[in-house]
Amino acid sequence: MTLTVRLPDKLEQELSDYCAAYRVTRSAAVKHALENLLKPAAPGKLVPEHPFVGCDKRPGDIARNVKRLLRERFRATGSRG
């Protein structure tokens, strides 16, 4: 499969530098990076580390109640914009 991706100039330069330093092709470096990114999580760990994943411990579907939950949150802290 062929995949075309536009990279910002800085990222393209970093990729080129990495490939030159480690003597690998750009394709091989990108394949390796994607394999690591898509690797299954370690046993007992359901989601990859992310600062927002799991930060709200309330039960239920948070996505369907975002506005109400935000109102409750800001009323509780007394913050007014």
Q: Are 15 and 27 in contact (CB under 8 A)?
A: no
Mapped onto helix, strand or coil, the DSSP state of residue 11 is helix
Q: Is 2 among the domain residues? A: no
Range of the domain at 62: 9-42+51-77
As for how many domains the chain has, the answer is: 1
Q: Is 61 among the domain residues? A: yes
Question: Residue holding tokens 């109102």?
Answer: 71
Q: Is 4 among the domain residues? A: no
Quick: pLDDT tens for 25-60: 999 999 998 888 888 766 666 555 555 555 666 666
In sequence order, what E strands does the chain have? none
Q: Is 1 among the domain residues? A: no
How many residues in total does the chain contain? 81
pTM: 0.49
Classify residue 62 by its DSSP letter: S
